[in-house]
Amino acid sequence: MLGFLAAGGVAYAVDLGVFLWLRGALGQDPITAKVCSFLAGCTVAYLGNALGTYRRRAVALREYVVFFAVNLAGAAVQLLCLAVSHHGLGLTSARADTVSGLGVGMFLATCLRFWGTRTLVFRNAG
């Protein structure tokens, strides 16, 4: 679990950094910024888990595809939290977008990703 959290922590930092950069400095809308930051964070998370947490296993295409699918489900959770906050509740500040998408959404998505990664992706490792 510590390896998963470490890989996730680095991926979270990448996700957060890309989101804030796109949302703030480049002025992108929150959904576009979140999609782009998700892709960057997902790639970092896969590499961290495949090469670190579950390093005893060979990297396989099937694992990458399932990992990406699990992370898409997590991203859907994050986007839903962001959309409800931004469009449904009218909380449109950059801070509100960050809290909903990368705070609440990330927490819920991490729970889903931990279960999915352990159960579906690297089920025979570790």
pLDDT in tens, 95-115: 998 888 878 998 898 899 889
The alpha carbon dihedral of 56, 61, 66, 70 has a sign of positive
| Domain span at 104 | 2-121
- Rounded Cα–Cα distance for residues 120 and 68 (Å): 11
Q: Cα 42 to the chain's mean position, in Å? A: 6
Is 126 domain-assigned? no
Q: What is the pLDDT of residue 58?
A: 65
Is 46 domain-assigned? yes
Mean pLDDT in residue range 32-52: 87
Is 30 domain-assigned? yes
Is 51 domain-assigned? yes
Is 104 domain-assigned? yes
Please state the domain count of the chain: 1
Is 19 domain-assigned? yes
pLDDT tens-digit series, residues 52-67: 887 766 667 788 889 8
User: Is residue 35's pLDDT more than 70?
Assistant: yes
The pTM assigned to this predicted structure is 0.68
Beta carbons within 8 Å of 114's beta carbon, 6+ residues apart: 1, 4
pLDDT tens-digit series, residues 68-99: 899 899 989 988 999 999 999 999 898 998 88
- Rounded Cα–Cα distance for residues 53 and 47 (Å): 9
